[in-house]
Amino acid sequence: MGIRKHTPGVRWAVALGAGIAIVAAAGCSSGSSTTSSTPSGSSSSSPPSSSSTVSTSQCGTKPGVAATGTPIALGGIVTNQPGTSFTDIANMANAYFACVNANGGINGHPIKYYIETEQTNPAQIAADAKQLVQTDHVVGIVGNTSIIECSIDSSYWQKLGYYIIDSGIAPECYSTPNSAAVNMGPRYSSDGAVQYALAQHVSKIVFDQSNVPGTGYIAAGPNALAAAAHVPIVQLTENVPISDADSVAIKEVDDAGPNGAVVLNFTPPEALVILQAAQKLGLEDKVKLWGCSTPCNTDFLATSLGPKWNSKLFVNAELTPPDVTTTTTMKLYEAILKQYGSAVSGGIGSFSQMGFTEAEIAVHALETVTGAYTVASVNAAFKAVSNYNTGMLCQAWTYGSYPMHIPNNEDYTVTPDNGKMVTAQGCTQISAVDPQIKAYRSAAGTAPMVQ
Amino acid sequence: MPSWQDFEPFIVSGLALGGVYALSGVGMVVLYQATGVVYLAFGAVGAMGALIAWSLINDAHAPGWVGWLVCVAFGAVVTLGYGMVFGPALAKRDPLVKAVATLGLTLVLFGVMDLLWTTSGGESRAITLPTDNGGFTIGQVQVDWTQVIGLAAGVAITVVTGVFLRYAKLGTAMRAMANDREITATLGVPVRRVEAAAWLGCGILAGVAGVLLADLVALDATTLTFLVISSLAATLIARLRSITVTFAAAIVIGLVHDLLTPIQALTNYRDMTPFVLAAIALLVLSRGGGRVLSRSREEA
């Protein structure tokens, strides 16, 4: 049967197909690459303006002087798919690099930052890594934030001698020698939320998370903490997106009981759906407290929830709360975000803080390199970062030569307060009852507290 | 096995979930009855309307009712526009082609929503209605008026549409057109106008469902867009024919789904409920003769 040409139906189908392709390409940004502004780009064409107290010129060694040397190529891979996008992290790192480039660069060299996006497709993620290495010739990997990238590319990076500075999600981001994250990731952040609940003497924990790869690994941490405290824990998983939030909320509250705690590990939209359902059903006060891992730490969530959740919901916060911190680093972060962060859609928040911190550490390491910027010299510099005060974490950050890396293992707890997240508990160590934390501290010790 | 008392709250939540499925399912069957098109973009249209409403309310500080009206208007305009542009062109094509074409619209809207209402910074959005604040308690569960309205809307739409299709002149024309567009046209029925009315009605339903579901389920593009898949199970059980059966099937699906929640061994499989029930229903019904699409092909 031949293909008919130029029938109205075919024309419509072709037109529709083209429309879908255009929107899909734009919307999903499949495998797309973007780069930071080089000295000839817009970021260097005008000198940075001052913020009220801290100027963006402080991000480089030569204020107002655009870097013109040979670019230093860095790359990052981030998940960007409907419902799950971490592009803000890479975009914030890009903003930091643009700021550095506009203010002297790294010894006169600008940073050229390549961002690859992926849609949780292992083949695509492996291809992204090869693209960065073989085509873009990156000498360092900074800002990776992906649901499965660490699992897919870990051995590839090890083979080539790359030491990644990332925001971790998958177990391999924390359990391998060549990945060090600035965040705690879902397991240790959930540990923090459960630990806070246990400290409030709850009688039972219900830990609920999205049904995605790695739930068993994440659940192991809260399980260990609850077992050590002799508090029963119920583990639940939910398929996302959640369309039956009412029944989810009822089950959680039924299982937890009036003196129990419900701890959630979901993205903000999913957590919001559950919490709102609980509120509508009048269940928010039927348990002692509600907890949540770091993703819930957004003012969007606090605003959407309203005052009923003030001091009722306690959210683990892996990074320094920006609203109440007035350090130079925090002001620089806000100034860079304002001047260079137009692509950072979420504005101030955990994701952009992570991107800032990763770029900050990378720049700090690059400034120690003497000689050519090669894969060997740059990654040796990354690995050599030790006890560095990022200004964004509770404790100093160290890479080091360890078989595993959990350099961020102290955290805050925040709670909604009339549309804002405010600090409920200051820096607190994640308990070494979690065997992974214990193993890391045995290898690397406990980093000094800096906040 | 949980006790009866444990199941009680899930009956309430199951009815609410069934009402949610019914809202989408009934709208889809109405359009199918009138045009022969399975409108898979029903959820995406409502989702985008609701997101526009959210932006108007939160960014432009418009009153809530303005946002809700705009959501309904958006559903009406987009659906009518699609129907007017693609309806005549695809009128003679297989029902499957017509359905897939609406999937194209779904993906276009989904892509636009992902671009304009991104979640890359951890954004989470919500629409609340004044009816969320009042309600009553059944057992230990609070029922708000929005849930009641959602269920009542499903009943009302089912009854009104059923009466309209059966007794109104325009409704009869719609049913005739769904059976055979050309013969209906030769009988002097203004086909384009009748089709436009059907698409417009379906679009208004999509907009109304968008506002209600954004409050009852979630204001999230992915959730609302693909909620229609679960609703589709209810329409399949009704073989895309009966609005009443669609409504009843949606309620049963919602109830069974939620009643499985407290059963530890089955709770992780409860999301399969719509499809398992649809498969069972189709197997049983197929004994009675014909498959769903065979009739559709004859109609086309």
Among A20, A281, A295, beta carbon nearest to B141: A281
Mean pLDDT throughout B229-236?
A: 87
Angle at B97 between CA B95 and CA B102, to 5 degrees: 100
In chain B, which residue's Cα lies nearest the Cα of A349?
Answer: B121
Question: What are the two backbone dihedrals, phi and then psi, of residue A150, each rounded to the nearest 5 degrees?
Answer: -60, -40
Residue A53 has pLDDT above 70, yes or no: no
**Which token pair is A366?**
């690059």
CB A373 within 8 A of CB A139: yes
CATH number at residue B173: 1.10.3470
Greater pLDDT, B49 or B94: B49
DSSP string, A205-221: EEEEEE-STTHHHHHHH
Residue B140 has pLDDT above 50, yes or no: yes
The pLDDT assigned to B299 comes to 45
Q: For A416-451, what is each residue's pLDDT tens digit?
A: 998 888 899 999 999 999 999 999 999 998 877 776
Q: Which of residues 283-322 of A touch B (CB under 8 A)?
A: 295, 298, 300-301, 304
Q: How far apart are CA A60 and CA A97, in angstroms?
A: 9
Q: How far apart are CA B220 and CA A270, in angstroms?
A: 9
Q: Does B33 touch chain A (CB under 8 A)?
A: no
Greater pLDDT, B103 or B228: B103
Sign of the alpha-carbon torsion through A430, A435, A440, A442? positive
Q: Does B271 touch chain A (CB under 8 A)?
A: yes
What class is the A186-317+412-444 domain? Answer: alpha beta
Mean pLDDT throughout A8-13?
A: 34
**Which token pair is B265?**
């061994």
Cβ–Cβ of A295/B20 closer than 8 Å?
A: no
Q: Which positions in chain A touch B115 (Cβ < 8 Å)?
A: 23, 26-27
Does the ipTM exceed 0.85? no
Q: How far apart are CA A238 and CA A266, in angstroms?
A: 9
- Residues 6+ positions from A65 with CB-CB distance below 8 Å: A103, A104
The pLDDT assigned to A299 comes to 78
Band (B63; pLDDT cuts 50, 70, 90)? very high
The pLDDT assigned to B260 comes to 92
Identify residue A106 by its one-letter amino acid code.
I
Pairing of strands A140-144, A164-166: parallel
What residues does CATH 3.40.50.2300 cover in chain A? 30-184+324-408, 186-317+412-444
The pLDDT assigned to B121 comes to 62
Sign of the alpha-carbon torsion through A39, A40, A43, A49? positive
The pLDDT assigned to A23 comes to 35
Among B110, B126, B142, beta carbon nearest to A272: B126
Residue A108 has pLDDT above 70, yes or no: yes
Cβ count within 10 A of residue A13: 18
**Which token pair is B96?**
């499957």
Cβ–Cβ of B119/A85 closer than 8 Å?
A: yes
| Intra-chain end-to-end CA distance of chain A, in Å | 73
User: How far, rounded to the nearest angstrom, does the alpha carbon of residue B178 sit from its chain's CA centroid?
Assistant: 19
Q: Which positions in chain B touch A234 (Cβ < 8 Å)?
A: none
Residue B33 has pLDDT above 50, yes or no: yes
Select the residue from A84, A239, A281, A421 to test the B interface by mutation, using most B Cβ atoms within 10 A. A281
Q: For B174-204, what is each residue's pLDDT tens digit?
A: 888 877 778 888 888 888 888 899 899 889 9
CB B208 within 8 A of CB B76: no
Instruction: Give me the CATH topology for the region A30-184+324-408.
Output: Rossmann fold (3.40.50)
**Which token pair is B230?**
């679960």
Cβ count within 10 A of residue B133: 11
Q: Which of A299, A319, A269 is nearest to A421 (CA)?
A: A299
Residue B292 has pLDDT above 90, yes or no: no
CB B229 within 8 A of CB B42: no
User: How far, rounded to the nearest angstrom, does the alpha carbon of residue A355 sit from its chain's CA centroid?
Assistant: 7
Cβ count within 10 A of residue A67: 25
Mean pLDDT throughout A44-67?
A: 67
Q: How far apart are CA B213 and CA B23, in angstroms?
A: 9
Mean pLDDT throughout A279-306?
A: 88
CB A88 within 8 A of CB A367: no
**Least confident range of A168-182, A343-357, B133-147:** B133-147
The pLDDT assigned to B288 comes to 62
Q: How far apart are CA A410 and CA A430, in angstroms?
A: 6
Question: In total, how many domains does chain B have?
Answer: 1
Band (A11; pLDDT cuts 50, 70, 90)? very low
Q: Which positions in chain A touch B227 (Cβ < 8 Å)?
A: 243
DSSP string, A364-376: HHHTT--S---HH
Does the bond joining A241 to the residue before it have cis omega, within 30 degrees of 0?
yes
Q: How far apart are CA A292 and CA A269, in angstroms?
A: 13
Mean pLDDT throughout A86-92?
A: 94
Q: How far apart are CA B33 and CA B205, in angstroms?
A: 15
Q: How far apart are CA A81 and CA A93, in angstroms?
A: 19
Q: Does B5 touch chain A (CB under 8 A)?
A: no
- Residues 6+ positions from A357 with CB-CB distance below 8 Å: A182, A319, A390, A392, A393, A397
CB A410 within 8 A of CB A164: no
Greatest Cα pair distance in chain B = 62
Helix ranges, chain B (H): 4-35, 42-58, 64-90, 95-116, 145-167, 169-179, 181-186, 191-216, 221-237, 243-259, 273-287, 292-299
How far apart are the CA of A281 and the nearest CA of chain B, in angstroms?
5
Cβ count within 10 A of residue A403: 11
Cβ–Cβ of B123/A268 closer than 8 Å?
A: yes
Q: Does A416 touch chain B (CB under 8 A)?
A: no
**Which token pair is A450?**
């800096």
What 3-state class would DSSP assign to B125?
coil
In chain B, which residue's Cα lies nearest the Cα of A279?
Answer: B142
Q: Which of B115, B126, B169, B103 is nearest to A303 (CA)?
A: B126
What residues are paired with A423 via a beta bridge? A414
DSSP-derived letter for residue A185 is H
Q: How far apart are CA A356 and CA B236, in angstroms?
A: 51
The DSSP H or E segment spanning A79 is strand A72-81
Cβ–Cβ of A242/B218 closer than 8 Å?
A: yes
CB B139 within 8 A of CB B12: yes
What residues are paired with A85 via a beta bridge? A80
Residue B134 has pLDDT above 70, yes or no: yes
Helix ranges, A367-409 (H): 375-384
The pLDDT assigned to A37 comes to 36
Helix ranges, A230-386 (H): 245-256, 268-280, 299-305, 328-340, 350-366, 375-384
Select the residue from B23, B92, B114, B259 to test the A interface by mutation, using most A Cβ atoms within 10 A. B114
**Interhelix angle B4-35/A245-256, nearest 10 degrees:** 170
The pLDDT assigned to B165 comes to 83
Residue A47 has pLDDT above 60, yes or no: no
Q: Which positions in chain A touch B124 (Cβ < 8 Å)?
A: 268-269, 271-272, 298, 300-301, 304
Residue B300 has pLDDT above 60, yes or no: no
